[in-house]
Amino acid sequence: MIKTIEYTDGIVRMIDQTKLPGEEVYVEYRDYKDVSEAIRNMLIRGAPAIGVAAAMGVSLGANEIKADNYESFLPKFQQICDLLAGSRPTAVNLFWAIKRMKKISEDSREKPVDEIKKILKAEAIKIWKEDIAINKSMGKHGQELIKDGDAILTHCNAGALATAGYGTALGVIRAAWGAGKKINVLADETRPFLQGARLTAWELKKENIPVKLITDSMAGHFMKKKEINLVIVGADRIASNGDVANKIGTYTVAILAREHQIPFYVAAPLSTLDMTLSSGEQIPIEERSHEEVTRINNKNIAPEGIDVAHPAFDVTPNKWVNAIITEKGIVLPPFKENLKKLF
């Protein structure tokens, strides 16, 4: 299994996803500020992976705090959490993981500071281990939706690279392949950061799962030709009504799938569900650098000074989602009622 991220001996080690597929490079961080920058600059990306990285970053930061008691530890700890929380706004797993680390700190407030630091490290590693187990559980449930011989379209990268390991949408695909189903995957290139071309295609090819790379604008063509049987994507945040925020272009794929009567599935852990939001209209959409649109490999592909829009995510309304695959099972509409039953 691809080792996306790990935490040992006071070092957070992660694969630099900006270098893939050309180079398989691992970077090591001892400072929580560097982990925050790695999240911001997408060396690590994918909602679950960001959550794991944030938890590890919180632990690294806590280790640096010099304090005699919890009262003097807490203000510095809060600053660390705030910095990491500001790295990316859309993926709710980031805030979920930080909130969990804050709670374990608060629950341990009567203990010596050195003991609190050990507890925080243990919790970060626990979040990492849980994520892998959750992904495998999602895969087990989700692969039941895939038939032998299916051709599956996926958008962006929701694989091992987007998680602690195994993957959400690609975890379902991995599980189907592992169950002996003869499947084929079509991977959208996913402009502008090319997560499909660089990461999904790399992951699947590495594991000999049949994959064909297509440009984002080709999806409708292959649906019309009946060469796609279903769509599976991941998610960065899901509102309580089942509206799904995912990589920009997901909304378009969902509309195409509905037009061609193709099932559209979302695979995401419970930590991606934001039950405080009544709809996707409340999900903050990250606006990223214009240069990610106008440049590839440090080369201009657009005129200098061109006006650029770059929302990193869009929101797919729940009416276009056939099912949400979680570690607790497959959730069907009506999502507003059925998602509540998971908690």
Residues marked as catalytic: 236
DSSP codes, 183-240: -EEEEE--TTTTHIIIIIHHHHHHTT--EEEE-GGGHHHHHHTT---EEEE--SEEET
Helix axes 47-64, 113-142, angle to 10 degrees: 170
Residue 236 near residue 156 (C-beta atoms within 8 A):
no
User: Which are the contacts of 280, defined by CB distance < 8 A and separation ≥ 6?
Assistant: 239, 241, 243, 244, 245, 315, 316, 317, 318
Nearest one of 144, 91, 127 to 283, comparing CA atoms = 91
How far apart, in whole angstroms, are the C-alpha atoms of residue 5 and residue 118?
Answer: 19
